[in-house]
Each structure stands twice: as structure tokens, then as C-alpha cells.
Amino acid sequence: MSLATESFFDTADLKRSVERVREPTHIVRHPAGFVGVAFGDPSALPDGCDWLGTLPALYPEWLGDRSFQEAHGTRFAYIAGAMANGIGSTEIVIAMAKAGCIGFFGAAGLPESRVNAAIDTIQGALGKADDGGLPHGFNLIHSPQEPELEASIADLYLRRGIRRVSAAAYMGLTPWIVRYASTGLRRTPDGRIHRINHVFAKISRPEVARRFMAPAPPELLAQLVRDRLITLEESELARLVPVAEDITMEADSGGHTDNQALGALLPILLRLRDDIVAQHRYTRPLRVGAAGGLGTPNAVAAAYALGAAYVLTGSVNQASLEAALAPHAKEMLCKADSADVAMAPAADMFEMGVEVQVLKRGTLFAARGHKLREIYRTCGSLREIAADDRLKLERDIFKDSLENVWANTEKFFAERDPKQLARAKADEKHRMALVFRAYLGQSSKWAIAGTADRVMDYQIWCGPAMGSFNQWVKGSFLEPASGRSVTQIALNLLEGAAVVTRCGQLRSYGVPVPADAWDYRPRMLAT
């Protein structure tokens, strides 16, 4: 047995003892009066020591809501989020599944053919969900400018047996997300409602969360029945269950974000969840997870302590070996500090004024994006742009004439969405928006491809968690991009969160836990 002594608190031994989270920890009072910890058989304590209680073993697998693992067949309540344009790659999804987590493929921004190919790759490695394959998911992003694309991707997921989707950027419910959630609902012989499709709704506003926590609107269900997209039985059962049983609360994250504070928003959503569960008398768990700002074990532990059923990481995975981002872009992320981020116009919702959070250090994308937004607000067409501004646009941002940029944009939308061209012909301001969206959209692809002459235009989605992660891993094997496997990132965040949780437990029982015990350092962990 190892028993704490008064000098014990001045050595590294106590810190090491805190990290023994997989062993029961005895809290004891020394004859001198101070409280310490011991391991082993509590009956073998030295004379004069009082046994005060025992903390059972603590495993990373036990963090979060156990119903998450039960519902989705995972080892951990942990998700690697869907980073758009395939940055959340097939490799990330496969690695996460094999490590006992869930990974979502970043389908947003990709054509249906690319998404279909990704399904082939992932199902080939993990198996199909309906055949007992390892859990995985795909992103379904709200596309207000291209509703047909959203509909076709949702239909693809249903046809290919994708049983988990991360619903992102939704401000309300669309027929396609409701169709996905409702398809396959049925009664089991014991009367319970069984669902095969699981929606993980990524939200940052209570009013949006309420829509996903509640049953689907009757009018939407009725329309889907009339269009023969769901059955009458599915429609009736959908009135009794929430659209999504997993609500991912998105705090200050990379990409689309409202820059919310996790500690302020999560309790609000948990209370809202409780109210809605009581209102609709749900019998199945409705889970609220946390995302955004989770770059250290301390932050992950805090999310679980606040009541998060699971955690989702995003920014910290973009520099991983498996992420589909250019090596130079990953190096830029590895040098980022928590203040090296900025808000910039979003390509997919440019006209609506929606913004995304991106890396500021080493790129001018945010500043150039805001310049485009300013011109769009003040000009009614490309012809109205002042000569000086036009020169700067063509020389610094587009590196081409606006006429050539429009010609290339026209070719793109002729294949992608011809209706945009018809609208642009009648509305010159919309034509300007499409030209500006061309830069905003291509900038993220340049970062993926590593386009050498476009480094200053890289759009790299990034939240402040990236900076806190970089500070935490400094001096460890996770500091260089070459050492950042998505699996080791996840395992170390989870292991560290368990250690931090143990520190909090011991401190609440009067053990004077030293400050450095809260600083879990990364180490190579076995899966």
C-alpha cells in the first residue's frame, strides 16, 4: 500500500497517484490531522490513520451519459465532428469507429458522387450499420441556396443505409431532415417505438433546439405522406418522438458558430430538454452533448461535469494525420494561439450575412472576405464597383478579371444549379453574390489542395480550442503535426478528462490536490 504522508504533497507522488484513476482511491486522515490518499487494502492502514471513504475506479468509458454508448454501440461518449469538404475524412471516420468513438464524414460542400464514394469506402472498412457494422455517420447540412442538393443527399443516405447524420446549420426543420428522422419508425412487439435513423442536431440556439427536441410538425409529416416519402404509420409514430434524440450544443467553434459560451448555453439546453421531455412524456433518453472550445482535458472534463451526455471535437482534429487538409495548412494550425481566429463571411449563406470562424494567423482570408461583404452591401451590381476597389479585387483577391471570374462561375452553376443562373440574369446583385461566393467557396478548397500561390487566401475553419490544444501538447509527441493521430488526440483528451475529474472528486473531499495534478500531459495510449 502507498499512503500519503505530510511531505507527500510536496512531491510528484501525489500527482502520479491522481492519475491512477483505474484503481479505487481511499481517502484517509493522518494522525497529524491532514487528509490524504492511499491505495490497496484499507484494513492495512497504519495505526492512527482513519479511513474516511473510498472513491471507486474511474474509467474514461464512464464519462458522459451511458445511454449514449447503449444507443450507438460505442466504447466512449465521444465524437469527431464533420468538417466540411471532406476534411472530416473517411480515414477519420474509420479510425474513430475502430477506437470506440463515432466519426462523421464531412459531406458538406461535396457533390453527391463524392459522398457516395465515401460511403463505399467507409462501409467497406466498417461494414453496414444494418449488418452490425461499427458505428459511423455522415453530415447533412442545411442548404437554403440549394434545397435540391440537401434533398438528394438525404435520399442518398436513406438508400445506402446511413443510420446517423450530423444535421448542421439548420435554423428550422426542412422536409428532408424530417423525412430522414421518420423513415423506419415502427412499433416493437412490446409496444416501444424503434427508430433506425439517428439525427445528431448541431445547434447553438434554444429556439432551434426546441424544434429538434419536439416531434416533427404535423403539417410537414402530412406533406411527406402525401408525397409518398414516408408511410402513414411512420408519420403517426413521428408525432410521439423527437426529431433528434441527440442534440449537440455548439459553443465557440470553428466554422458556422454563434460564439456561444459553453458554460452559459449548456445549462439552458439541459433545462429545456427536461421541460420538453416532461411535456411530451418521452420514455427514451434525450441527450444533450457539447461541442466548441474543447481543446484540453480540462475543457472536456468541464463539459461532462456540466451534464453533457457526450462531447464532440472539431478544430483539434483538422491538424491530425487523417484529416484531408494540406500539410502546410496543418502546420499553420499547429502554430495557432487561442486569439488567432476571426469571423468571416460564409460561402453558403453569404447573402444572409452568416459568418464562419476561421484561422487568422498566416492568412488574409478573413480580411478579404469582409471586403467582399462591404462591397456587396454598398453596390447593386458588379458594374457599380468603384475603379479602385475593382482593381484591388482583380489584383489581390481574384487574381483575374471579374469578367473571367463570372464566366467560370457561370460554368460551375450550369452543372451544379442552373436556377442560380436564371436568377442572376434577372438580378445583377445576385450575380455579384455568386462571383463573391466563388472566392469564398474556393478558398477552403485551396487549403485542402495546398495551392501554393493561394496560401494567403486559405480558409481554414478554426475555433479558439485549437490554440488551447497547441499549448497543452507543447513539448509532447502531439506537438508536431506528424504525431497527431485522431485516435491519440481522442484517447488523451478522454484519459486526461478522467484524471481531471478525479482531481475534482478528491478536492471536494478535502484532499489538498496540488495544482500540477490538474495538468495531465499527453502520452502514447493503447486503444
Beta strand segments in 102-157, E: 102-105, 137-141
pTM: 0.94
Last residue of a domain, one of 413, 428, 457: 457
Say whether both 321 and 396 belong to one domain.
no
Say whether both 257 and 395 belong to one domain.
no
Last residue of a domain, one of 269, 300, 325: 325
pLDDT of residue 5: 40
User: Which segments of the chain have a pLDDT < 50?
Assistant: 1-11
Q: Please give the Cα distance from 356 to 383 (Å, whole number).
A: 28
Domain of 124, CATH number, reads 3.20.20.70
100 three-state secondary structure? coil
Q: Please give the Cα distance from 177 to 142 (Å, whole number).
A: 9
- For Cα atoms 505, 506, 507, give the angle at the middle one, nearest 5 degrees: 95
Tens digit of pLDDT for each residue in 244-293?
Answer: 999 999 999 998 889 999 999 999 999 999 999 999 999 999 999 999 99
Tens digit of pLDDT for each residue in 343-359?
Answer: 999 998 899 898 999 99
Say whether both 253 and 374 belong to one domain.
no
Spatial contact of 180 and 199, defined as CB atoms under 8 Å apart: yes
DSSP 8-state symbol, 348: T
In a domain, 367, yes or no: yes
pLDDT of residue 13: 59
Say whether both 173 and 296 belong to one domain.
yes
Q: Please give the Cα distance from 489 to 505 (Å, whole number).
A: 24
Query: Could you list the residue range(s) of the whole structural domain that residue 374 is in?
Result: 329-457
The domain total for the chain is 2
Q: How many other C-beta atoms lie within 10 A of the C-beta of residue 123? A: 17
pLDDT of residue 11: 41
Say whether both 434 and 369 belong to one domain.
yes
